[in-house]
A and B are shown apart, each in its own frame.
Chain A
Amino acid sequence: KQEVTQIPAALSVPEGENLVLNCSFTDSAIYNLQWFRQDPGKGLTSLLLIQSSQREQTSGRLNASLDKSSGRSTLYIAASQPGDSATYLCAVKHTNAGKSTFGDGTTLTVKP
């Protein structure tokens, strides 16, 4: 059974710092991995999607990498801002493409 773990569970950094969020998964048979952002009481906003054949994806200050063989993905946030404060979730899409498994998330606080 696929298990997805995100470390750390919570992270607090000063504004301007570069940071890395981690996501690991136990079964490397995945179609893709998607990173989301969730603000308190809100829905999920898609940040980046990495296909299983890709190594990384970039969008603005965000860069996500994928190492399928080791079962790991990282989300790099450059020059963090208070507006980046949210919970960040990763999700893997199984090769049984209907199923997705989510991590529990990392709650990020960026202090001004």
Chain B
Amino acid sequence: EAQVTQNPRYLITVTGKKLTVTCSQNMNHEYMSWYRQDPGLGLRQIYYSMNVEVTDKGDVPEGYKVSRKEKRNFPLILESPSPNQTSLYFCASSPGSAGYEQYFGPGTRLTVT
């Protein structure tokens, strides 16, 4: 089944403890992206990747890192999480960067205490 998967789906952690949220797609898509969704602020783009080894900042990249070493994986790294990074995170992918639908993963609910 064609899908975008994220792990973990739920995570509660403490301030400053490094964590990684994984994202994987099995559709051979070139483009992948991370978003966060917060009440009253909607969905905001964190980082995106046009292809392997090509990443760029979205609108809210502060406090996050990404890497794209393989086409199928696009992990989101929080090196020193803070409570203001408590959010619902979504990974998305599409066949290319322009002209294609984005397909979303199920989301990761992160709580930083």
Contact = CB atoms under 8 A, between A and B. Distances in A.
Nearest to B50: A98
Contact of B90 (A43, A46, A49): A43
B42 A102 contact: yes
Q: How large is the interface on A (under 10, 10 to 19, 20 to 34, 35 or more residues)?
A: 20 to 34
Interface string B39-67: 01111110010100000101100000000
A99 B102 contact: no
A100 B36 CA distance: 12
B90 A97 contact: no
B43 A102 contact: yes
Contact of A99 (B43, B58, B106): B58
A98 B42 contact: no
Contacts of B104: 36, 43-46
Contacts of B103: 46
Interface residues of B, number: 27
A101 B40 CA distance: 15
Given A42-B106, A99-B45, A49 B98 contact: no
A100 B102 contact: yes
B105 interface: yes
A104 interface: yes
B107 interface: yes
Interface of B: 31, 33, 35, 40-45, 48, 50, 56, 58-59, 90, 92, 97-107
Given A46-B102, A101-B59, 6 more contacts: A31-B98, A43-B107, A46-B101, A91-B102, A102-B42, A105-B42
29 contacts: A31-B98, A31-B99, A32-B98, A34-B101, A36-B104, A42-B106, A43-B90, A43-B105, A43-B106, A44-B104, A46-B102, A46-B103, A49-B100, A51-B99, A89-B42, A89-B43, A91-B102, A97-B50, A97-B97, A97-B98, A98-B31, A98-B50, A98-B97, A99-B58, A99-B59, A100-B102, A103-B42, A104-B40, A105-B42
